[in-house]
A and B are shown apart, each in its own frame.
Chain A
Amino acid sequence: MNTTELPATYVAGELQATNVAGLADWRDYFALLKPRVMTLVVFSAACAMAVAPGHIHPVIGFVAMLCVAVGAGAAGALNQWYEADIDALMKRTANRPLPAGRVDRGEALNFGVAFAVGSVAIMGVAVNWLAAAILAVSILFYVLVYTVGLKRRTPQNIVIGGAAGAFPPLIGWAAVTGDISALPVLLFALIFLWTPPHFWALALFMEADYSKAGVPMLPVTAGATATRRQILLYTLVLVPVSLMPWALGLTGWIYGGTALVFGLGFIACALAVWRNTATLAADMAPEKRMFRFSLLYLFMLFAALVVDYWILPWNA
């Protein structure tokens, strides 16, 4: 091997054998964007865009979705930059690029800031500045309010922080209409109220990890019984709110029926969690079922919204 091909710093032997930061490939940077979280964010924004009144050029619509995806990814990268220390302590996150040492923290910060600024700027110039402003607020809310302000301080972290994940329908709607009306606000409320039962179900069977990392999730600070009660209460509020778009005549029966059926399923899951008394993760089948069902629930409601819009002329 001809070592003259290497940069001077490396030829000089400044890269220690144990330092793998220079070994990150594109997959590590892609992983910084939290692609799985990004999928749900883009899906909810795209559904809101699909049902918003008015017309958007397909290219501009694509640019809007790209900006939402990149903005969400940037927020994920900045979250990982700030949380590298606690990610290293949790089994679920220990192999992320930063705690595993494959990506340098400074690089992750630059990467996140560049993508955040770029996505907001392109959204503003190509789509409209209201959508760009909401995108900017959602990124700042996720990074500054949730990640920096709440996550390590209060068990209400994901209750308030849940707002960050609820912004995408507002962005998708604003990209088409240039304003905000009742339906996107109700979709915001839907995701906002869905977030606590979704994350607390996860936190119940991952409690040991959160406890080890010192993250004050509700199961860590208040115990499993109180968390299960809160999951049920939030679910009982969530389901009526999910029916409001239909009850107010903003959607048709396809969305209403889907929200009702899946809402009853969500309540059934929450009741099973509430009745469970297990303290070991291995015995928390209802919690794991609820976590999986919550993802399906949100997907089905947004999909039903789009199907409803295309089949029934409620927006004509």
Chain B
Amino acid sequence: MERMTDAQTEAFIAARKSRNKALGLLLGGLAVLFFVITVVKFVI
């Protein structure tokens, strides 16, 4: 097995950070969406 080079390690960490940010935004967006849907369902 071959170890990752420093450049590959940096790229791996950057990509993981990007995925984590997107997942965080997705989960936050879902929380907001469910809240808004609940409020609207109570109103209508």
> Which residues of A are in contact with B by a Cβ distance under 8 Å?
1, 3, 5-6, 10, 13-17, 22-26, 29, 57, 59-60, 63, 66, 122, 125-126
B1-44 contacts to A, CB under 8 A, are 1-6, 8-16, 18-19, 21-22, 33, 36-37, 40-41, 43-44
Q: Is the CB of A24 within 8 A of B19?
A: yes
Q: Is the CB of A10 within 8 A of B12?
A: yes
Q: Is the interface of B mostly helix, strand, loop or mixed?
A: helix
Supposing A13-B2, A25-B15 touch, asked if A59 and B37 sit within 8 A by C-beta, the answer is: yes
Q: Is the CB of B41 within 8 A of A16?
A: no
> Which residues of B are in contact with A by a Cβ distance under 8 Å?
1-6, 8-16, 18-19, 21-22, 33, 36-37, 40-41, 43-44
Q: Is the CB of A13 within 8 A of B3?
A: yes
Contact residues in A for B8 (Cβ distance below 8 Å): 17, 23
Supposing A22-B16, A63-B33 touch, asked if A16 and B40 sit within 8 A by C-beta, the answer is: no
Min CB–CB distance A176 → chain B (angstroms)? 13
CB closest residue in chain A, given B18: A25
A16–B37 Cα distance when bound, in Å, is 45
Supposing A6-B9, A22-B15 touch, asked if A57 and B40 sit within 8 A by C-beta, the answer is: yes
Min CB–CB distance B34 → chain A (angstroms)? 8
Q: Is the CB of B40 within 8 A of A60?
A: yes
Q: List 10 A-B contacts (CB under 8 A).
A: A5-B13, A6-B13, A10-B12, A15-B12, A17-B2, A17-B3, A17-B4, A23-B12, A26-B18, A60-B44
Minimum-distance CB pairs A-B, first 7: A26-B22, A25-B18, A13-B3, A1-B6, A25-B15, A59-B40, A13-B1
Contact residues in B for A5 (Cβ distance below 8 Å): 13
Contact residues in B for A17 (Cβ distance below 8 Å): 2-5, 8
Q: Is the CB of A126 within 8 A of B41?
A: yes
Min CB–CB distance A170 → chain B (angstroms)? 22
